[in-house]
Structure 1
Amino acid sequence: MNHVLCGLAANAALPSELVDRLISVADADIAEGLAGRADLSHAQAVALASRVEEVAVGLAYEGLLTTADVDPTARPHAALALLDERSGDLEWARLFASDPDAERREKLAACPGLPPDVVETLAADSDVRVVAELAAWTTPDMAARLAQHPHAEVRRAVAANEATPPDVLAMLISGEGLPPAERCLVCDGEETPFVHDPQCPRLDCDLRSGASCAGSHESTVLEMVELALQNPSTPVEAVVRFVDHPSTPLRRLLAARPDLPPEVWGRLADDPVPGVRADLAGNPAIGEALIRSLATDGGHDVQRTLAHHPRVPFDVLSSLAGAVKIGPSLLPRIAAASPTEVEELAKWSNPAARMLLAERRDLPAEIRDALAADPDARVVRSIAGHPGLSEAQLRSMVERHGVRVVAKVAGNPDAPPALLEDLTGHVPPVQKAFREVARHRNATGPALLACLADRRARPIAAAHPALPPTVLVELLADDDWRVVEAAAANPSLPPTVMSKLAPEPGGE
């Protein structure tokens, strides 16, 4: 792989004529960078797709290739991408419906807006995976028909399709009103009873992990029910029967549904498995009484998940902040707090709770400044990235709390150049601060040179446009390929150097 040319292909400042030169010599790696360019013209996209077929699919999805540019027999994957985008020729769909390659028929089956005759052809396909793919995306009428398919894999796909009629979904998970499935992927190829080894050594085996069949297609049926429980179209009266099911994964999926009756949530709150109760704690539809009950649940992940609930009361959130490690994240309830609530939250006596408020980036100046002067390093670390803080405030944070806040201060969008330079020389050094400075818009050449000395910050710094051009040229020969690509992609690379790097036409 030529890392210099790969980086150059992604360089936003690369002149159009040099893009053309790279297209003329592109391999798959160089083509990937060229295909991602925002300034790639239609003519260049066509030339690139002709040169490297692997990128044609992505170019088709981006709208850079049209029906006139694609021969479905020469570039079938690009043609299928256009059909998937509803911009391909529908005659292509008829061509692919009888394609001997089952993978192409399977891809076609997932495309929207197919002609009715093509849908009928795919529904009768000899390869069950093609029919299953159709079942996962098709219309309500066809989904209802395929729910009666004799293969359990097709029924499994119908259960995942949100267009499947609710009464059909109810029949799938109850088994009532449908003939039993006759086959599954397991018994298609194995003598039953059979349980697929999760560490299966067979290179040609494509059974899912845990697949099993003892004659009733057990694993596929279980997966079908799991998918139906996740399907919002499945009626609630059909899913509540699983509240006491012996399968923990089923009960966990049930606990996440927002449409359950309160009495079912109450039973799930007493589930012996903490994971079920944690999924219930994350359910946005549960009420305050249940939230308060779960707040005292010490089961694994229950309280941490509850802290992310969008309607958790603030007094509960304050207690959770002191009980579990929530981390530096903006919680939904904090993000939705009104101006009056923000003023109240700023007065919390619990520093762990004030830290949660400090994660907001739209605080009034007086509250932001008060949190910036907070005596607790956790609060200061959370507020350090807030825009609008002055250089004096940022320097004061570092003076008071040292290495605990240096990286966060370095990541403040308004950190001035002089401060960034000083942070790269902090004693003791803070490695994460180098990475923050290396990507900072205000970083200067001296600050970036200091970042180059850090192994993890070096590739980031090599991409910064403020890095001196002479240094960029030197980095093109670096031992680290990531640094080489970043330097070649740097828009500050001198145009004369770009021209020398791009091979002349016919020079590959």
Structure 2
Amino acid sequence: MSLEAEPSALAAQKDLAADLVWRLLRHRETRRAVALLREDLTEAMIEEIIALGSARSLAANCSVPAEVRARLAEHPEPAVRCAIAASVADDPPGLWVRLADDPDPSVRMFLAMNDHLAPELPAGLAADPDPGVRSSIVDHWRDAPDRVRRALMTDPVPPVRRDSVRNYVPPADLLPALLADPVTRAAAVGHTAPSPELAADPDSAVRVAVADHPDLPAGLRDQLAQDPDMFVRNAIAARPDTPPALRERIVATLQTDNPVAGWFLAYRRDPNVGGTPPPVPPILTREQAEALLARADL
């Protein structure tokens, strides 16, 4: 662990003496870690964190008292209000409504991510004039009622329509129009039977969706295994029902000089390609913690 990372890891250590926490507040990065992660912040520490400009990190800490979070919901910086909106309870009552009326759409977008909202609030956000807010509702309100889903799947803004079809099961009566719409066709493919026409669609995203279809016939699988687009071929290679010999032949064709594309292709076939998570930082004694802070000039 690097010298810079060690003090930030110390910021999350339970039962850390208060005087050591105060020392961590001296540096911006360690102060942010303290503000975000600690559950034992005193009123004086909270005031110091706000005064030193780390209110955004503090706003994302769900252990901060409700009255402090309500106060931060009025902060002049939208980023602070966003952090509050994403997880705050309606305490005091009316806080959600105030955030739903925030003039900055980014705050309303983050409010749409909040898992604790009363049912009437997501419905209002689903009709928000800002398309980013409506898209955020699509991503986070998975049990939206039918009337809301229909409105979002026929939204005038293309990304909202596309994301809606990706996240909701389309009603049967809307499916033909969604398949005819170039914006939503790829997302709608999974809700219809694969066909030779879809497997030959000029949009490679549609062909990838066909390649991912759980009921893909062997004939279309073999056709898409020779697709000119390597991401379509890779989708076939990633299927559990693709014969090993065919998979090997496909993988041999997936050569790219782009390391990001190469990683994505490999990850698609094996999600474990990302490696193991970093080790949990060790718990330090007071003596070790003091030595660490001294080395970091804290």
Contact 1:415 1:442 (8 Å CA) reproduced: no
- Report the CA distance shift for 1:160/1:350 in structure 2 as closer, same or farther (over 3 A): same
Q: Distance in 2 between matches of 1:423 and 1:139?
A: 54
- Residue matched to 1:230: 60
Number of the residue aligned with 1:314: 146
Structure 1 residue aligned with 2:19: 145
Q: Report the CA distance between 1:411 and its aligned residue.
A: 2.9
What is the correspondence of 1:97-176 to structure 2 with a 5 Å cutoff?
A: 103=3, 130=7, 133-134=9-10, 136-140=11-15, 142-149=16-23, 151-153=25-27, 155-162=31-38, 164-165=39-40, 168=42, 170-175=43-48
Write the mapping of 1:240-319 to structure 2, written as runs, cut at 5 A. 240-261=70-91, 262-310=93-141, 311-319=143-151
- Which amino acid in structure 2 is aligned with residue 275 of structure 1? S
The aligned residue for residue 442 of structure 1 is 242
Amino-acid identity (%): 24
Report what 1:366 is aligned to: none
| Gapped regions of structure 2 (runs ≥ 5) | 264-298
Provide the secondary structure at the position in 1 that maps to 2:90.
coil
TM-superposed deviation, 1:403: 3.7
Measured after TM superposition, the shift of residue 146 of structure 1 is 3.3
Q: Distance in 2 between matches of 1:281 and 1:250?
A: 16
Tell me how many residue pairs correspond in the alignment.
250
Number of the residue aligned with 1:394: 194
SS at match of 1:159: helix
Please list the CA deviations of residues 299-355 of structure 1 after superposition, one character each: whole Å capped at 9, or x if unmatched. 251110011233533322221222242436753xx5xxxxxxx7xx644x3339x96
Q: Tell me if structure 2 keeps the 8 A contact 1:424–1:451.
A: no
**Within 2, Cα distance between the matches of 1:242 and 1:222?**
12
Closer/same/farther in 2, CA of residues 161 and 256 from structure 1, 3 Å limit:
same
The whole-number CA distance in structure 1 between the counterparts of 2:135 and 2:226 is 37
Match of 1:351 among 175, 182, 193: 175
Deviation at 1:378, TM superposition (A): 7.4
Separation in 2, partners of 1:248, 1:380: 36
Tell me, in whole angstroms, the C-alpha distance in 2 between the residues paired with 1:459 and 1:281: 41
| Deviation per residue, 1:407-450 (Å, 9 max, x gap) | 32223355455433333567xx5554233234445257679758
Gap change, CA 1:413 and 1:246, over 3 Å in 2: same
Which amino acid in structure 1 is aligned with residue 12 of structure 2? Answer: W
- The alignment's C-alpha RMSD in Å is 4.2
Structure-2 change in CA distance of 1:443 and 1:377 (3 Å): farther
1:275 CA displacement: 0.6
- Write the letter of the residue equivalent to 1:145: D
Cα 1:397–1:376 change in 2 (3 A) is: farther
Q: Distance in 2 between matches of 1:450 and 1:318?
A: 39
- Whether the 8 Å contact between 1:294 and 1:306 is mirrored in structure 2 is yes
Please report how far the alpha carbon of residue 246 of structure 1 lies from its aligned counterpart in structure 2 after TM superposition: 1.3
Q: Secondary structure at the match of 2:194?
A: helix
2:255 to 451, 459, 464: 459
TM (norm. structure 1) is 0.41
- In 2, are the aligned partners of 1:295 and 1:320 still within 8 Å (CA)? yes
Give the structure-2-normalised TM-score: 0.64
Q: Which runs of 5+ in 1 are unaligned?
A: 1-76, 78-101, 111-129, 176-180, 182-216, 335-341, 356-373, 461-479, 487-508
- 8 Å contact kept, 2:112–2:136: yes
Q: Check the 8 A contact 2:69/2:88 in 1, yes or no.
A: no
Shift of 1:379: 7.3
Answer with 1 or 2: which has the greater Rg: 1
Listed one character per residue, the Cα deviations across residues 29-80 of structure 1 (whole Å, up to 9, x for unaligned) are xxxxxxxxxxxxxxxxxxxxxxxxxxxxxxxxxxxxxxxxxxxxxxxx7xxx
Structure 1 distance, partners of 2:99, 2:68, is 16
Change in CA separation of 1:442 and 1:385 when aligned onto 2, cut-off 3 Å: farther
Amino acid at match of 1:171: A
Matched AA of 1:303: R
User: Is contact 1:351-1:376 (8 Å) kept?
Assistant: no
